[in-house]
Structure 1
Amino acid sequence: MSFPEGPFWLIGCGNMAGAMLRRWLSQGLDPAQVTVITRSGRGAPEGVRSLTALPIDETPATLMLGFKPQQLDDIAPTLSHLNPRLVLSILAGVEEQVLADRIPAGATVRMMPNLPVGIGQGVTALFTRSTDAQVRGHAQALAEALGLAPWIEDEARFDAVTALAGCGPAFVFRFIDAIAQAGVALGLDADLAQHLALATVNGAGSMAIGADASPGVLADRVASPGGSTREGLNVLDADDALERLMAATLAASERRNREMAAAARR
């Protein structure tokens, strides 16, 4: 694993940034290399330097932006003098050019992770205009330590990737809860229903990853004509109900990403 060398500063350390950092540390990133800077001074893993202000007379080689996109206007001016070799950003909806204009650096890479990165089974989409092999290699090494690491070559598609993969775990969690609640409505104990729902989604997901067919085809293979699975699928498939619901869900998330991007440009 070829992590970037030199001081690694993380500005903000909430749920997502913290999950990424903890995974990197578990995969060999040297904690002595890392500084976490937050307003509260909390959230940094054990063994990592934690500060409430930027260190004086120090500069990072890698600067990661792990705060909320809405905080960019307040925080960016405090970072504009650092000029690190590499800026990594997980700010949803904030375009690379906006970041490069506000925080000068050798290169800027957008990263869009989702929460399972904390267990090494996430998705971290990547985008940069840089063609520097070392820049792209360092970004990819960090992302691959978290799970799947696809490069998105058209930044205009980044909001859609964010809606599907970045927001997607929350939608899956909601589905798991909904199917469990449906089981409770049929008379199952709540704990049993949740365990069944979790195991079913976990097993089905693992099977779909290793299958020789698409999930849509797998669903039809499971559903025998006239059987109970087909009867349930008929409800989901009627008027494309599930597809339309998910299309509306992702469109709402993508729209919000675009709104945040527009606000960051101002």
Structure 2
Amino acid sequence: MTQDLTLALIGGGNMATALATGLIGRRCAAADIHVIDPNEALRERWAEQGSTASAMPDERLSACRVWFFAVKPQVMREVVRQCRPFLRPGTLVISIAAGIPAETIGRWLGEADAPYARLVRCMPNTPALIASGITGMYPMRGVEADDRALAESLLRAVGEVVWVERDEAIDAVTAVSGSGPAYVFLFLEALIEAGVEQGLSPEQARQLALATLHGATQLAALSPDAPSVLRERVTSKGGTTAAALAVFQEADFTGIVGRAVQAAAERAAALARELSGAPE
């Protein structure tokens, strides 16, 4: 355990809870975490586990080595404004606010012509809630090697991490993995419904669909072969799988996925423009 890791969770909801669950006892103690959230019930829950909590930013922020912004993007600017007086030069700032570029957050924390640059922008996804997520991470120029290692260790508490070299690449991360669980859930819904239509009970269809998806993704993760090779191995000429895949191909399944991901990426970029606003 790292005794000197003090962490401020600005926003105490699901993602902050997931992060703390992965960190407490491994990287820090509950008492090393300070939570800021206007929800009284949330604050009480954090206090019960031994963390400190407040409704508004206060001097305790100044003593925290890492600030983790986990608030809705619509309120991010105001929350950053409230926290800014307590920022110190050595503070590492990590943001998971969707749609807000790192440069914009840096301006809000610093000045228009001198953004705060010790900042990492992240895009996790909801499987982080069971420590099976993946997070895309972009470091601003002020993030040193030690900061980068620390940020990575924090997000690895809830899953895997992927570093990108451009802020704009987080839009692609959002489209592939941030929104990706919804695509998987949609496919699961359809597969379960199709199983029921073929005479299975809802429970049977659900069990078969979930186990098949889990097993297939695990096989793809552990195999040295590309997914295309694995698909070909399941597909016998003139067989049942070939008949099903022909329907997908006729409907341009690959194109549909590509267009869906592009639409998500374009929306992420549009949100960045909408939420950034003019520099203060």
Letter of the 2:215 counterpart: G
Q: Tell me how far 1:26 sits from its aligned partner.
A: 5.5
Partner of 2:259: 248
Please give the secondary structure, in 2, of the residue aligned with 1:88. strand
Letter of the 1:220 counterpart: E
Higher alpha-carbon deviation: 140-149 or 150-159: 140-149
Are residue 132 (structure 1) and residue 144 (structure 2) matched? yes
Measured on the aligned residues, the alpha-carbon RMSD in Å equals 2.0
Change (3 A) 1:42 1:124: farther
Partner of 1:193: 205
Q: Tell me how far 1:261 sits from its aligned partner.
A: 0.8
Are residue 72 (structure 1) and residue 76 (structure 2) matched? yes
1:150-199 CA distance string (max 9 Å, x none): 11012221100111011111211121121011101111101111111111
Work out the number of aligned pairs and report it: 264
Partner of 2:113: none
Alignment map for 1:122-161 (pairs within 5 Å):
122-129=133-140, 130-161=142-173
Select which of 70, 93, 97 maps to 2:103: 97
Please give the secondary structure, in 2, of the residue aligned with 1:145. helix
Contact 1:69 1:260 in 2 (8 A): no
1:110-167 CA distance string (max 9 Å, x none): 1111122233321111111235111111111112222221110122211001110111
Distance 2:60 2:164 in 1: 36
Please give the secondary structure, in 2, of the residue aligned with 1:153. coil
Structure 2 runs not aligned, ≥5 long: 111-115
Please give the secondary structure, in 1, of the residue aligned with 2:163. coil
Letter of the 1:11 counterpart: I
Contact 1:22 1:118 in 2 (8 A): no
Q: Tell me how far 1:58 sits from its aligned partner.
A: 4.8
Q: Tell me how far 1:6 sits from its aligned partner.
A: 4.3
Contact 1:11 1:38 in 2 (8 A): yes
Alignment map for 1:165-204 (pairs within 5 Å):
165-204=177-216
Q: Tell me how far 1:15 sits from its aligned partner.
A: 2.5
Tell me the percent identity. 30
Contact 2:171 2:269 in 1 (8 A): yes
1:9-60 CA distance string (max 9 Å, x none): 1111232332222222254431111011111133454332232122346512
Please give the secondary structure, in 2, of the residue aligned with 1:181. helix
Distance 2:262 2:54 in 1: 38
Alignment map for 1:1-266 (pairs within 5 Å):
5-25=4-24, 27-43=26-42, 44-45=45-46, 46-56=49-59, 58-59=61-62, 60-84=64-88, 85-104=91-110, 105=116, 107-129=118-140, 130-239=142-251, 241-266=252-277
Please give the secondary structure, in 2, of the residue aligned with 1:67. coil
Contact 2:137 2:161 in 1 (8 A): yes
Structure 1 runs not aligned, ≥5 long: none
Higher alpha-carbon deviation: 116-125 or 154-163: 116-125
Distance 2:134 2:192 in 1: 26
Contact 1:117 1:123 in 2 (8 A): yes
Change (3 A) 1:57 1:138: closer
Q: Tell me how far 1:73 sits from its aligned partner.
A: 2.8
Contact 1:23 1:119 in 2 (8 A): no
Letter of the 2:82 counterpart: T
Distance 1:181 1:69 in 2: 35
